[in-house]
Amino acid sequence: MDLILKILIYLYLSAGVWSIQNQWLPCQFTDEHVFTNNEGHTETRLIHREAMLQFGQKGDAPVNQNAITFLITGSKLDLRRYVEGVEEEQLECELRRYSTEGIYVRWPVMGAQEYNHWFLCTLRHSRGLFTVAGFLRHPSDQPPPGEQDYRKWPPIPDREVLTTTVAMAIKTKTPSVKAGLMSQQKLHCQFDVDHKGGNITVEWHWQHRGERNKLFSYTSRTGHTQGSGVGVKALATGDATYTLPLSKMSSEGTYICSVSVNPLFGSVDINLHIEEPPRVSLNVGPTFSLLDGQEQKVVCEANSYYPLDVEIVWYEQDLAASGQRVGAPLPKASLRQSGKQFTCSVSHHSLKVPIKKSFILNVEEPGSWMFNIALGLFAIVLLVILFVMLRYLHSARKRAVEKKPY
């Protein structure tokens, strides 16, 4: 009995950790209720509902009887392949209805019915390692309404089981990228469709602060290409990765990789952040000497950084007091500051820890300086006298040798 219990516990824990690799994944289904308000305007109310993403065969019993089950049956595309090696608690799953904006076409796969209801499943890694968008096709024998589908969504009961297949998927492994200035970056984007021969359009756009530019476009039916940065041969294998030229401050923004196969349009966003750490310098050396009461401007300079927000703080540190940091440098040097270390600390968004530059201040009394100067002059005079005497003695000996009779 104990052995059976241990086996059951092990299977239960295994299912909890590896469920996405096997059969199911909890999701949040964001449903929509579109209606016309009293003023005649169209409004949308979002309704958050419990759902399960379940992998299996048509007719399988739902894992959670109290949730809406999106049963994904076998097709060419398997969403689990895009999240291999990821544990359930690392995934964020969201489901939404997808509107074809009044466009109705028969999806060109074997056994497909004339009509379909579409859902968009988005899987995100909790630490931002990837984003996957998958389009789920739910066949229907009901003709579409005479208006855009989002105005008359068919109701979904709380315990409904919706049998679906994955029709198209798009993924990026770089949803957020940090790049330094003058660096080359590859923005990952891959896609797949459950059938061949369809007209596929791939585009890249850049947008930032209300500005939007097209970077690249490709249409498979005509082979027409506009722009650069994506390998056309790689597109045949579903690789739409964009190579960003040497980055500049103006490169910062959101890069959008989009793939469209009528009536579907899918995209993933990649946020590029330009970060360049500051170069920090002091205008004095590691040791700096001043007279008591003397003033001297010490400059801590930070250059060549981005974003243009930086924090510079001065610390006064007594090396004899266990490294305690207090206050900031005083405007005038004093004897009590002699031997202390002054540190400039520069913090910036690109830095995990601040950059620090330090110098040790030596402060002497003016009298000691005069004494040192006098002592130095006295030493110089002695050296000059010694030099003159040596030359005189050398000359005297030379004359004595010349006068000696042979």
Structural domain includes residue 206 = yes
CA 301 from chain centre, in angstroms, equals 28
Structural domain includes residue 403 = no
| DSSP single-letter state for residue 299 | -
Structural domain includes residue 396 = no
Burial zone of 106 (CB within 10 Å; 0-12 exposed, 13-18 middle, 19+ buried): exposed
Structural domain includes residue 238 = yes
Looking at the structure, tell me whether residues 48 and 161 fall in a common domain.
Answer: yes
Looking at the structure, tell me whether residues 177 and 163 fall in a common domain.
Answer: no
pLDDT per residue as tens digits for the range 349-377? 999 999 999 999 888 877 555 656 666 78
CA 314 from chain centre, in angstroms, equals 30
What is the CATH classification number for the domain harbouring 139? Answer: 2.60.40
DSSP 84-146: TT--GGGEEEEEEEE--TT------STT--SEEEEEEEEEEETTSS-EEEEEEEEEESSPPPS
- Phi, psi torsion values for 282, nearest 5 degrees: -115, 150
Structural domain includes residue 311 = yes
Looking at the structure, tell me whether residues 161 and 183 fall in a common domain.
Answer: no
Looking at the structure, tell me whether residues 180 and 221 fall in a common domain.
Answer: yes
Looking at the structure, tell me whether residues 209 and 238 fall in a common domain.
Answer: yes
pLDDT in 10s for each residue of the chain, 406 residues:
444 433 333 333 334 443 455 688 999 999 998 888 889 898 989 999 999 999 999 999 999 999 999 999 988 899 999 988 888 889 999 999 998 887 888 888 876 677 889 999 999 999 999 999 999 999 988 776 656 777 778 899 999 999 999 999 999 999 999 999 999 999 999 999 999 888 999 999 999 999 999 999 999 999 999 999 999 999 999 999 999 989 999 999 999 999 999 999 999 999 999 999 999 999 999 998 888 878 888 899 999 999 989 999 998 877 655 444 444 444 576 777 788 889 999 999 999 999 999 999 888 877 555 656 666 787 888 888 888 788 777 777 766 666 655 4
Torsion of CA 70, 76, 77, 82, to 10 degrees: 130
Among 167, 185, 213, the domain boundary falls at 167
Looking at the structure, tell me whether residues 86 and 123 fall in a common domain.
Answer: yes
Structural domain includes residue 248 = yes
Domain that holds residue 244: 173-274
What is the CATH classification number for the domain harbouring 327? Answer: 2.60.40.10
Looking at the structure, tell me whether residues 31 and 148 fall in a common domain.
Answer: yes
What burial letters (b/e) apply to 136-154, b meaning 16+ CB within 10 Å? bbbeeeeebeeeebbeeee
pLDDT per residue as tens digits for the range 190-243? 999 999 888 999 999 999 999 999 999 999 999 999 999 999 999 999 999 999
Q: Which long-range contacts does 61-66 make (Cβ < 8 Å, 24+ apart)? A: 62/159, 62/161, 63/23, 63/24, 64/24, 64/26, 65/159, 66/158, 66/159
Residues 6 or more apart whose CB falls under 8 angstroms from that of 405 comprise none
Answer for the pair 291, 363: CB distance below 8 angstroms, yes or no: yes
Domain total for the chain? 3
Structural domain includes residue 17 = no
Looking at the structure, tell me whether residues 248 and 322 fall in a common domain.
Answer: no
Looking at the structure, tell me whether residues 132 and 182 fall in a common domain.
Answer: no
Structural domain includes residue 405 = no
Looking at the structure, tell me whether residues 157 and 189 fall in a common domain.
Answer: no
Among 106, 135, 167, the domain boundary falls at 167
Among 274, 296, 331, the domain boundary falls at 274
Looking at the structure, tell me whether residues 287 and 267 fall in a common domain.
Answer: no
Looking at the structure, tell me whether residues 136 and 249 fall in a common domain.
Answer: no
